[in-house]
Chain A
Amino acid sequence: MHEMAVTEDILRIVTEHAGQGGASEVTDIYLVIGELASFVDDSIQFYFDLLAPGTVAEGATLHFQRVQTRFRCRICGHEFEPAERDWLCPECHALGGEVIAGKEFYVESIEVR
């Protein structure tokens, strides 16, 4: 459900940046979303199709770059992507780690003309 608010936020950011550059049309929007950020691509696309018409981003293509969760081992410092049911560090076999990637959620760039 919250993807509607998120999509409104995307449009706000995109409109601001397009306006600053004097662009008349936004053709592509590049989003970066971490695995742990609770947002669904399809749902953002759904609300985008509803909300974008009449804005500078009407007809723009959404690109979703998903970022996998990464741990940094607290014992040996090794960085790794945890598997679904295996959080052991491949180097030292300690379990878990500090989450260093996977929570990203931002508009990375836009293409305008």
Chain B
Amino acid sequence: MSETNLSPSNRVPVVERLLTANEEVAADNRVQFHQRQIKVGNIMASPGAGKTTLLLATIAAMPGRKIGVIEGDVASQVDAEMIATTGTPVVQINTGGACHLDAPMIRNAAKALPLEELELILVENVGNLICPVSFDLGQDFNVGLLSVPEGHDKPYKYPGIFEAVDLVVVTKADLLPYLDFEIDTFRTLVHGLNPDVPIFVVSAKTGEGMEDWVAWLETRLGI
């Protein structure tokens, strides 16, 4: 024992990235979805940004498309029940406290969807602007939502998400006349991080901007 304690420590280089186990499962998910010609979108936003409302409006606006939904929440079936009223196949994942979805959760949830009937799966991640970005699910594209009441300075506070997304949707645009949300400032900050990302200003309530969002999704599906 004392001999062990006297022997000097040796520094061993490792340089191994963490969370690669998640990335391996995500890569496998991607293969599984592609084999079935299914496109998968990962929708990320704060709680209450209007993810579920946008999904409901999207389902209504794309009646010809076979859409499935995976709902991620810490607890409850509330969102899945709302989606299910449209007749859309939906699976609710309850993370039991975890603040994001990960690839193994998606792998399990996908088993409960009729994959052979679907062409698009929209994943509603847990409401959170931070950690979902760090966990690849096997998606084809990332969409970040920001609702007008959250404020135009959010990219300063949560740069990671705005850098990682393929599309930004500003939701609840019908509230713009009542709030001090500076859309041009928001655009400038987002494009400072992610110069080519499209930004759509949408209200699922009034339908404003919905055609841009739906057209973008159609392009992703490769019409």
Q: Does A13 contact B (CB under 8 A)?
A: yes
Are A106 and B9 within 8 A (Cβ)? no
Q: Given the interface contacts A9-B21, A99-B163, A99-B193, does A37 sit within 8 Å of B134 by beta carbon?
A: yes
How distant is the Cα of A96 from the Cα of B162 in the complex, in angstroms? Answer: 12
Is A68 in contact with chain B by the CB < 8 A criterion? no
B48: Cβ under 8 A from any A Cβ? no
Given the complex of chains A and B, what is the CA–CA distance between A95 and B159 in angstroms? Answer: 13
Within 8 A of A (CB), among B132-181: 133-135, 153, 156, 159-160, 163
Chain B contact-residue range equals 35 or more
Q: Which of B19, B21, B98, B100 has the most CB of A within 10 A?
A: B19
For A69, list chain B residues within 8 Å (CB).
Answer: 159
Digit string of A21-33 for contact with B (CB within 8 Å is 1, else 0)? 1011101100000
Partner of B12, one of A23, A24, A38: A23
* A109 interface contact, C-beta 8 A: yes
By a CB distance below 8 angstroms, the chain B residues around A97 are: 192
Residue contact B19 to A105, C-beta cutoff 8 Å: yes
Verify if B7 is at the interface (C-beta below 8 Å from A): yes
Answer whether residue A101 sits at the interface, using C-beta atoms and an 8 A cutoff. Answer: no
Q: Let me know if B99 and A9 touch, CB within 8 A.
A: no
Residue A52 CB within 8 A of the other chain: no
Our pick among A27, A39, A99, A106 for the contact of B16 (Cβ within 8 Å) is: A106
A10 (CB) vs chain B CBs: closest residue: B18
The distance from the CB of B64 to the nearest CB of chain A, in whole angstroms, is: 38
> CB < 8 Å: which of B18, B100, B130, B156 contacts A85?
B156
Contact B12 A110 (CB under 8 A): yes
Say yes or no: B97 contacts A1, CB within 8 Å.
yes
- CB of A25 within 8 A of CB of B12, answer no
In the assembled complex, the Cα of A13 lies from the Cα of B14 at a distance in Å of: 8
Q: Which among B9, B134, B153 is the interface contact of A111 at CB below 8 angstroms? A: B9
Known A25-B4, A87-B189, A96-B193; judge A36-B17 contact (CB<8 A).
no
Given A87-B156, A87-B189, A95-B189, the answer on whether A113 and B18 have CB atoms closer than 8 Å is: no
Task: For the complex formed, measure the closest distance between the CB of A55 and the CB atoms of chain B, giving whole angstroms.
Answer: 16
Instruction: Tell me the bound Cα distance from A95 to B12 in angstroms.
Output: 41
A21 to B13, CA, bound (A): 11
Closest to B153 in A: A85
Q: What is the distance, in angstroms, from B128's C-beta to the closest C-beta of chain A?
A: 9
Query: Please, which residue of chain B has its CB at the minimum distance from the CB of A34?
Result: B160
**A residues less than 8 Å from B193 (CB atoms):** 96, 99
CB within 8 Å of A: which residues of B? 4, 7-22, 95, 97-100, 102, 130-131, 133-135, 153, 156, 159-160, 163, 188-189, 191-193, 195
Contact surface of A with B, Cβ cutoff 8 Å? 1-2, 5-6, 9-10, 13-14, 17-18, 21, 23-25, 27-28, 36-39, 69, 74, 84-85, 87, 95-97, 99, 103, 105-113
What are 30 residue pairs bridging A and B, where the CB atoms are less than 8 Å apart in the complex?
A: A2-B134, A5-B22, A13-B14, A17-B12, A17-B16, A38-B133, A69-B159, A84-B156, A87-B156, A87-B189, A95-B192, A96-B189, A96-B192, A99-B159, A99-B163, A105-B19, A106-B16, A106-B17, A106-B18, A107-B15, A107-B16, A108-B13, A109-B13, A109-B15, A111-B11, A111-B12, A112-B10, A112-B12, A113-B4, A113-B10
